[in-house]
Amino acid sequence: MISAHDVELRAGARLLLDSVSFQVAAGDKIGLVGRNGAGKTTLARVLAGEGQPAAGTVKVGGTVGYLPQDTRVGDLEALAVDRILSARGLDALLVGLRAAEHEMASTDPSRRDAAVRRYGHLEERLSVLGGYAAESEAASLSASLGLPQKVLRQPLRTLSGGQRRRVELARILFGGSETLLLDEPTNHLDADSVSWLRDHLRSFRGGLVVISHDTALLEKVVNKVFYLDADRSTLDVYNLGWKSYLDQRETDARRRRRERLNAERQATALQSQADKMRAKATKAKAAQSMARRAEKLLAGVSADRAPDRVARLRFPVPAHCGRTPVTARGLTKSYGSLEVFTGVDMAVDKGSRVVVLGLNGAGKTTLLRLLAGVEEPDAGEVLPGHGLRLGYYAQEHETLDNERTVLASMRSAAPDLTEADQRGILGSFLFSGDDVAKPVGVLSGGEKTRLALALLVVSGANVLLLDEPTNNLDPASRAEILGALRRYQGAIVLVTHDEGAVEALQPERVVLLPDGIEDAWSEELGDLVALA
Ligand SMILES: Nc1ncnc2c1ncn2[C@@H]1O[C@H](COP(=O)(O)OP(=O)(O)OP(=O)(O)O)[C@@H](O)[C@H]1O
Ligand SMILES: [Mg+2]
């Protein structure tokens, strides 16, 4: 149970939330939504006790499991399975048991006796906590999230960003906390895992706050919606499921528009009356108070901020390259005994759009990593064509420099552009005005995604390898960013679960994994995207 009382949130100088109160009790399944940068992550951090509100109090009763948007893992040398078990303190118990076992072989009788007693205690604790069964429970939970046994036995250091994120999610779910705070839990998950997660959260009996742009998840899971309105710095609480919330919000927006029109009409009338009266000395005072009333009226209604329209500008032309900047022949990759794919051929033509499709574990990310050269194939080769310049978007934003500002990042990626053009391109990736002066480190998840993509587009790269580029983006930003990517003149190789993204990019070719069949794109393949 979490209760927030008169909570005010700020980010730098900006007011994100002005004095809100609410509760998260058992059985509350709350969808926390709002556009990128609205302050959802900031609020979740505060509820999790990882940040302080600018004013007000947050009281937490019981245990809370918090999945942050940016995965942070502790000890990278720890095994994935131990990381998951640590959620119930089981990892330390198991390590203690192993140590006690070792001591029990000691020749010193007093040490041996102490070890036996300790072993007994630990064993008892272990059985209270669900004992050895918990280990298999953790394993089955992990399997549902696309983490096979083999991966669980690996140290976190060797796992991909997506796998680490799954480990963290498994850890939180395994922890059995009374309240869960999940910030974008479906990022990095394949469709099978997402649908398992939807069911799991639906039957979860505790309190839940979930931040997600996955409308199918919201529809299935939530019974309340908190809409964080960035323009009004308020949290609108809807005690409704997702579908009814959408209807209600539409009605609310229409009502607010009507109220605003009314207020504007009245204010204009008052104002013009005041102007007339001001001319007469005897009425000056009345005129002033009328003008004040007009102001008040306008202040009382919220402006529905018109979405920032962005000028259609021209992106820098990618560096010159030959007809086929990348060719791959006979690519084969396995991890240990697990064969991911064998003998994949593909050719990426200048300016073409290629979608990589394949079921969970078919090796889509692996293929991109091979093409990007961050991983070596077991057999086969990636042949760079004449003038190839690659840009790789790998979801983790690790290419961003947290210390630089947004504008400085753009300047170093595209030093040849004028500042006006740099700002213009940032604008088409939805960074306007003061946003460009922010240090990258404070950006929200969606903002980081946008910046990383903007930097790739201007980098002169003529082939972009994009791995799930629409994760984290709210629907409006997603549409804008896809529009920007469509105008990019280089080639794009895309891995995604997002059907809309595929539609927007209008691909010409598709590569189907694990067989590596390359073919012309056709509409019917669209149905496969979400399955993949
Ligand atoms: N120190 C700071 N100075 C200025 N702005 C900041 C600072 N810290 C955070 N911000 C801004 O506060 C806003 C809220 O960030 P937050 O991460 O909470 O958004 P969010 O709703 O989770 O967005 P997303 O959907 O992209 O994850 C963002 O616009 C971010 O850039
Ligand atoms: Mg966020």
For 101-157, how does the pLDDT look when each residue is reduced to its tens digit (9 = 90+)?
888 988 899 999 999 999 999 888 888 777 778 888 999 999 999 898 888 988 888
Query: How would residue 204 be classed by pLDDT, with cut points 50, 70 and 90?
Result: very high
Distance between CA atoms of residues 271 and 277, nearest Å: 10
DSSP symbol at 65: E
Domain 326-531: assigned CATH number = 3.40.50.300
* Edge-to-edge strand list for the sheet holding 55-60: 14-24, 2-11, 55-60
For the chain, what is the mean pLDDT? 88
Q: Mean pLDDT throughout 501-520?
A: 88
For 39, the enclosing helix (H) or strand (E) is none
For 347-359, how does the pLDDT look when each residue is reduced to its tens digit (9 = 90+)?
999 999 999 988 7
Q: To test ligand 1's pocket by mutation, which of 33, 35, 40 has the most ligand atoms within 8 angstroms of CB?
A: 40
DSSP line for 141-186:
HHHHTT--HHHHTSBGGGS-HHHHHHHHHHHHHHHT-SEEEEESTT
Query: How would residue 174 be classed by pLDDT, with cut points 50, 70 and 90?
Result: very high
Q: Mean pLDDT throughout 229-246?
A: 92
Distance between CA atoms of residues 507 and 487, nearest Å: 13
Query: How would residue 522 be classed by pLDDT, with cut points 50, 70 and 90?
Result: confident
Average the pLDDT over each of 241-245, 280-284, 307-311, 495-499 and give the range with the smallest value.
Answer: 307-311
> Higher pLDDT residue, 20 or 337?
20
Query: How would residue 302 be classed by pLDDT, with cut points 50, 70 and 90?
Result: low
Q: Does pLDDT of 306 surpass 60?
A: no
Question: What are the two backbone dihedrals, phi and then psi, of residue 424, each rounded to the nearest 5 degrees?
Answer: -60, -45
Q: Does pLDDT of 84 surpass 80?
A: yes
- Burial of residue 463, with CB atoms counted within 10 A of its CB: 0-12 exposed, 13-18 middle, 19 or more buried: buried
Angle at 452 between CA 210 and CA 335, to 5 degrees: 75
CB 62 within 8 A of CB 178: yes
Ligand 2 centre to CA of 455 (Å) is 20
Which of 395, 399, 17, 73 minimizes the C-alpha distance to 227? 17
Q: Does pLDDT of 404 surpass 90?
A: yes
Closest ligand 1 atom, CA of 39? 18
Strands 55-60 and 2-11: antiparallel
Ligand 1 centre to CA of 251 (Å) is 28
Which of 51, 30, 58, 446 minimizes the C-alpha distance to 236? 30
Most confident of 52-66, 126-140, 248-262: 52-66
How many other CB atoms sit within 10 Å of the CB of residue 489? Answer: 13
> Higher pLDDT residue, 524 or 474?
474
pLDDT computed for residue 388 by the predictor: 95
Average the pLDDT over each of 62-71, 117-126, 192-201, 358-367 and give the range with the smallest value.
Answer: 358-367
List C-alpha distances in Å: 17 to 137, 229, 339, 427, 444: 40, 8, 50, 25, 16
Query: How would residue 189 be classed by pLDDT, with cut points 50, 70 and 90?
Result: confident
pLDDT computed for residue 396 by the predictor: 67
Query: How would residue 244 be classed by pLDDT, with cut points 50, 70 and 90?
Result: very high
pLDDT computed for residue 163 by the predictor: 84
Ligand 2 centre to CA of 13 (Å) is 18
Q: Does pLDDT of 492 surpass 60?
A: yes
For 480-491, how does the pLDDT look when each residue is reduced to its tens digit (9 = 90+)?
889 888 889 999
Average the pLDDT over each of 29-43, 131-145, 317-331 and give the range with the smallest value.
Answer: 131-145
Q: Atom 13 of ligand 1 has which residue's CA nearest to it? A: 37
Closest ligand, as measured to the CA of 233: 1
Most confident of 158-167, 307-316, 317-326: 317-326
Q: Dihedral, CA atoms, 181, 183, 186, 189, nearest 10 degrees?
A: -100
How many other CB atoms sit within 10 Å of the CB of residue 63? Answer: 12
With H, G, I as helix, E, B as strand and everything else as coil, classify residue 434. helix
Q: Does pLDDT of 3 surpass 70?
A: yes
Give ligand 1 pocket residues (Cβ under 6 A): 11-12, 14, 16, 34, 36-42, 69, 438, 442-447, 472, 474
Q: To test ligand 1's pocket by mutation, which of 14, 402, 480 has the most ligand atoms within 8 angstroms of CB?
A: 14
pLDDT computed for residue 312 by the predictor: 52
For 205-222, how does the pLDDT look when each residue is reduced to its tens digit (9 = 90+)?
999 999 998 889 999 999
Q: Percentage of the chain with pLDDT > 90? A: 48
Ligand 2 centre to CA of 36 (Å) is 7
**Bridge partner list, 208:** 29, 180
Q: Which two tokens stand for residue 269?
A: 């009338």
For 453-481, how does the pLDDT look when each residue is reduced to its tens digit (9 = 90+)?
999 988 889 999 999 899 889 888 888 88
Q: Does pLDDT of 531 surpass 90?
A: no
Q: Does pLDDT of 309 surpass 80?
A: no
Query: How would residue 181 be classed by pLDDT, with cut points 50, 70 and 90?
Result: very high
Residue ranges covered by each domain of the chain: 80-181, 245-300, 326-531
Question: What are the two backbone dihedrals, phi and then psi, of residue 491, each rounded to the nearest 5 degrees?
Answer: -85, 150
Q: Atom 10 of ligand 1 has which residue's CA nearest to it? A: 11
Query: How would residue 313 be classed by pLDDT, with cut points 50, 70 and 90?
Result: low
Query: How big is the chain, counted in residues?
Result: 532
Q: Which two tokens stand for residue 236?
A: 């609108």
